[in-house]
Amino acid sequence: MIDRRILAHFDYILLLLVLPLVALSLFLINELDSVLFAKQIKYISLGCGLMVVLFFVPFRKLNGIIVALYIVCLMLLILVHFIGTQKLGAQRWINIPFTSFSIQPSEIIKTFLMLLLASYIARNPPPKGGYGIKEFCIISSFILVPFMIILKEPDLGTAMVILLTGFGTLFLVGVNKKIWISLGLIMLILAPVAYVANPLKDYQKKRITDFVSENYPYQVNQALIAVGASGLVGKSKEEATQSQLKFLPYANTDFIFAYFVERFGLLGAFGLLTLFFCIIVHILSLGFTYGKDYFLRVVTGYIAILIFLYVGINICMVIGLAPVVGIPLPLMSYGGTSFITFITLFTILENVLAFRFVFEYNATPSKRGPLAQLVRALGS
């Protein structure tokens, strides 16, 4: 029997908002490539199986294990530099021995960074005026260490996403405003130094140069043609020539938004953006609703910012408003790593929500001793 309190706290709205994205993804991928469609079904099945297992993991109580897994992820990131598989000039993957599969530690670290931030902040909540410099430096180190390692792969896109998501979450949780002002001034001073030091790789500099000069790469030009010719309501599959005739590269992965607009037009694009907007706002609202639950506040803030960055960067990249980087469209682009990462994050969020009654009980002052409280909590 499932405790009725779990069903009462489960967020069904999030589930209803996410399912249309998965359905749209399968629909588009099936139109583009039936073989990839079959593989995506396997990824989704794996994600659903993982959901069932992760949903019952007591994440709030795994402080030591979370720290250990975070350290393991850091070790995997370092290991990438020695035995990583190189693709497109970057080492980001580690082949799993005796199998045809590989893992991307830079994707895995996103989940464990969120859990580490949630665990630490829940045990050390910010004071009324926000975190001071000491706590800020400690928490910042959790973010900066994986950022620096991933930056060396090189994977500037993922590194910046981790940096912005981590510090964006800190901003939502609460940090003294004097610290943010000081950081802003330091960045302004160091910007010319970074320009002179020239830390970017050649291909990264080319992406930025092409973006600034509006000398768009081939895939962006084809994406703009697909978007521009879609009209108000889009085209049928047979008339979607940019994708069906293979003019549009990566139509099922990083540039799936261009194919979506080609099929469903301006109204479809507006509807899709509205759906993502509703997901972000709904997740953020959960964090503000349960303001005293800092574990939940970190999880909701982290996921909402991550989705916002992924969607914003991907769409801006497709329509030529940002340099081309390997950022997929959440839950829509083909691929197992990104899909399972977001499914894992959503499952953790549902877990933290569904088992809130344990937090609420423990957060209630009681005259009983800690042992008696623990026994009663386990018994419930």
For the segment 68-119, what is each residue's pLDDT rounded down to a tens digit? 999 999 999 998 888 777 665 566 777 777 766 667 888 889 999 999 999 9
The confidence band for 362, taking pLDDT boundaries of 50, 70 and 90, is: low
Q: How far apart are CA 270 and CA 274, in angstroms?
A: 6
| DSSP label at residue 96 | P
What is the reported pLDDT for 191? 67
pLDDT for res 368: 43
- pLDDT, tens digit, for every residue of 124-177? 999 988 999 999 999 999 999 999 998 887 777 889 999 999 999 999 999 999
Between residues 143 and 242, the one the model is more confident about: 143
Per mean pLDDT, which range of 3-7, 247-251, 297-301 is the poorest? 3-7
Q: What mean pLDDT do residues 20-37 have?
A: 91
CA dihedral 102, 165, 195, 209 (to 10 degrees): 70
Which pLDDT score is estimated for 379? 41
Place of tokens 């037009």: 265
295 vs 293: CA distance, rounded Å: 6
Q: What average pLDDT does range 216-229 have in this prediction? A: 85
Model pLDDT for residues 286-295, shown as the tens digit of each residue: 988 887 889 9
- Other residues' Cβ atoms within 10 Å of the Cβ of residue 323: 20
320 sits in the region (left: phi over 0; alpha: psi -120 to 50; else beta) called left
pTM of the model: 0.87
Burial class from Cβ neighbours inside 10 Å (0-12, 13-18, 19+) for residue 32 reads buried
Task: Give me the pLDDT at residue 349, please.
Answer: 95
Domain boundaries, the chain: 66-199
How far apart are the C-alpha atoms of 235 and 242, rounded to whole Å? 11
| Helix and strand element counts for the chain (H, E) | 16, 3
